Structure 1
Amino acid sequence: MLMDIGKIRRVQQTVETAQRITRYIYNHNWILSLMRKYAGGEILRPGVTRFATNFIALDSILEKRGALRQMFASSEWYDSRYSYAGTERSKIEDLVTRQPFWQQATTIVKAIKPLYEVLRAVDSEIYPLMGFLYHMMVKAKDQIMEADPAHGWSYINIIEQRWEAQMGTELHLAAYYLNLRFQYNIDGIGMDETLLDALRNVIYKMEHDPEKAALCLEEVIMI
């Protein structure tokens, strides 16, 4: 899922820019030392494979944004030989001191973070119950659209394709519907046709006697 999101062009370009900045810093020992002085630590470096790692790296460089901009505006930087060395230096300095890269990176991290948290929950040893997991994904999609209204659907489409194929089963939907915590706290869940259809199908698969299945469904809906 994250791998597919990482292939979206604007996401890919932003990760490549972050790679370019960190590669330049880490390829020069003096600049690396200066960065550590201003940032108080390391910047996680984006890789070329797992997008989960790249997401964490983007978040890391965002945390160091102020320190990096201070570094490139410092007298130490301007007095050094690196501030006059080559076109790559001027391009990196321009990327760090101007807004477009940071704005794009901020939007991407804010949009992807809700999904990342859900996937972390799935991978954790304490696996959330099916109903809670479905609720987490519903909430994550809402947060993604709120974080990036202009491009959120490009993420949502990927999520729905992957999620529905792997986790969006009728059993998950039924578990979500039957969770009393959501029944009493989310408006409209009791009459959601998608959830009701999933619940009906699950009940009729478990109870082959039509009369008993109908009675069970009636009792559940009346909760």
Structure 2
Amino acid sequence: MCQFKDGCHFLSSKECSNEAHMSQHIYEYVGSCIQEVGPEHIVQIVTDNATNNMGAAKFKKVLDQAKQVTIFIYAHHKTLAMMRKFTNKRDIIRLGVTKFASVYLTLQKQLRHMFSSNEWEECKFSYTVKGGSSHTLVTGSTFWAGVTLCLKVFSPLVKVLL
């Protein structure tokens, strides 16, 4: 929908049942529509429930896991101090999905190092259920592959909407 002086107008639609619903395809089509009328006129973008869009629900698990680790680290002064030591005083911030994921990816090496260190082994929180779960997530490869995938899928859409 586009907002003009005389109200909102439907701009366009595209029948794509014969095409793969890949994020790049959606990105290019929506981007061209936005450029056609100007971003200041865009009020709403509506897409169908294509498999590609429904796949976003899979990213909820990765984001929930990232939040779980973040909440665990920030809940205890010892783990927070340890994280800041291993990341050179950098924090994990939660500004938005892509920013959150990109910060995690940037700190991947440092967080893995922290959860594999002697300091972590000596920390009383390493023996808690949440500590063990956080350790498993951060030192495993599945979580990081999910973070990378989140960035690849959501970054183009965020660029279109910003």
TM-score (norm 1): 0.46
Q: Give the structure 2 partner of residue 155 of structure 1.
A: none
Shift of 1:8: 3.0
Shift of 1:54: 2.2
Shift of 1:88: 1.6
In structure 2, stretches of 5+ residues that fail to align are: 1-44
Aligned match of 1:74 in 117, 135, 154? 117
Change (3 A) 1:6 1:30: farther
Shift of 1:31: 0.5
The 5 A counterparts of 1:16-95 are 16-40=64-88, 41-45=90-94, 53-84=96-127, 86-95=128-137
Q: Distance in 1 between matches of 2:123 and 2:64?
A: 26
CA deviation map 1:142-162 (0-9, x unaligned): xxxxxxxxxxxxxxxxxxxxx
Q: Give the structure 2 partner of residue 200 of structure 1.
A: none
Shift of 1:6: 9.2
CA deviation map 1:109-165 (0-9, x unaligned): 022112212222xxxxxxxxxxxxxxxxxxxxxxxxxxxxxxxxxxxxxxxxxxxxx
Shift of 1:45: 2.9
Larger RCO (alpha carbons 8 Å, 6+ apart): 2
Shift of 1:7: 8.5
Q: Distance in 1 between matches of 2:158 and 2:97?
A: 12
Q: Distance in 1 between matches of 2:97 and 2:123?
A: 31
Q: Distance in 2 between matches of 1:108 and 1:37?
A: 27
Opposite residue 158 of structure 2, the aligned amino acid is Y
Paired residues of 1:45 and 1:57 also in contact (CA < 8 A): yes
Aligned length: 111
RMSD of equivalent CA atoms: 2.1
Paired residues of 1:22 and 1:45 also in contact (CA < 8 A): no
Change (3 A) 1:88 1:6: farther
Q: Distance in 2 between matches of 1:79 and 1:70?
A: 14
Q: Give the structure 1 partner of residue 145 of structure 2.
A: 103
CA deviation map 1:189-211 (0-9, x unaligned): xxxxxxxxxxxxxxxxxxxxxxx
* Greater helix share, structure number: 1
Paired residues of 1:72 and 1:97 also in contact (CA < 8 A): yes
Q: Distance in 1 between matches of 2:77 and 2:55?
A: 32
In structure 1, stretches of 5+ residues that fail to align are: 47-52, 121-223
Shift of 1:15: 0.9
Opposite residue 59 of structure 1, the aligned amino acid is S
Q: Give the structure 2 partner of residue 10 of structure 1.
A: 58
Q: Distance in 1 between matches of 2:54 and 2:74?
A: 23
Q: Distance in 1 between matches of 2:60 and 2:69?
A: 14
